Amino acid sequence: MIAVGKPAAERDLHAVDAKSCSGSQTCFQVGSPSRAMVGTNAGTFYAQVGGASGGGGAACFVFLYHDTAGWHYVNVRCAQATGSIPGPQDLVRVSGCANVRDAPGLSSHVVACLPNGTIVDVDSAPVYLDGHIWWHLNGRGWMAHEFLT
C-alpha cells in the first residue's frame, strides 16, 4: 500500500523523497510509525511534508483503495494543525448537504443529509466501493470520504 501511495502523494504535493531532498525542495516521508489502517478494500497511512531545512512541515494522510489489480492512490490530505485520520469530532464539509447512507455504496439508501459543519464521529476503518472511500459515522450511517475534513 505504501509503495503505491508514497510516489503518487509525492507527485500530487510536488515533493521529493526526504532521503534525497535538499535546498528549497519540498520533502515527503512516511511517518514513523506509519499509522497504516486497512479496511475493506481501502486504506490510509500517515506521512509528513516539509522543507529540506525542516521548516514549514505538515502532517498528511494518504488514501488508497484496493481491487484485483492491487492498490490504487485516491488522494493525500495535509494540514499544519491536523487532527488525525477521520475519527471522533470530524467535520462534514459540503455546500448544501452530504448524504448519509445505510451502507457503503452509491446504491445504498440515503438515511440523512448532513449540513456543512456538522460534527460526526467516524468509528470504523474505511471501505472502498463504487469509486469512493466510505467511513461509518457512529449512530448515523456511511458517508463518502470527500465530505469529511
Q: What is the pLDDT of residues 26-50, one digit of tens each?
A: 899 998 887 888 889 999 998 989 8
Query: pLDDT tens-digit profile of 97-114?
Result: 899 999 999 999 999 999
Residue at 65 is within a domain? yes
> Per-residue b/e over 52-82, b at no fewer than 16 CB within 10 Å?
eeeeeeebbbbbbbbeeeebebbebbbeeee
Do 57 and 37 fall within a single domain?
yes
Question: By residue range, what is the domain housing residue 106?
Answer: 90-147
Full-model pTM: 0.75
Task: Examine the fold and report which residue of 60, 79, 98 is the final residue of a domain before the chain moves on.
Answer: 79
Do 35 and 61 fall within a single domain?
yes
CB 59 within 8 A of CB 79: yes
The CATH number that applies at residue 141 is 2.30.30.40
